[in-house]
Amino acid sequence: MKLEIHYADDWAALYIDGQLDSDSVGDSHIAEARAFKLLGAKQVYSNAFMRGQSFRAGVAPTLADVEAYKQEMDARQAEAAEKRAEAARLLAEAEALEGGK
């Protein structure tokens, strides 16, 4: 299968084996998404591959590194949520001690 995407400003069209794929005409992301789907590419919308920074050198070199970072972030977020819940409980207790404001 030969795929070509033609671009003009914000428009794009995907040609499959020389024939227009009429479902892919429109914004460029439509044609690109269709091509990715035909190729079997999985698209993941997450910034975990950046590992909390914004430099090319810091991008995760493997998918295993991406997953490890994601698990670390999930654990941190869970811990932060627990601490927020504990803080809310402690604030409620403090208010009760002061006379139930």
Digit-coded pLDDT (tens) for 20-29: 999 999 999 9
State the burial class of residue 31 (Cβ atoms within 10 Å of its Cβ: 0-12, 13-18, 19+).
buried
Token look-up 């079997």 returns 40
Full-model pTM: 0.68
- 53: nearest Cα among 42, 65, 35, 41: 65
Average pLDDT over residues 14-41: 95
User: What does the pLDDT read at residue 99?
Assistant: 87
Question: Rounded CA gap, 40 and 18, in Å?
Answer: 20
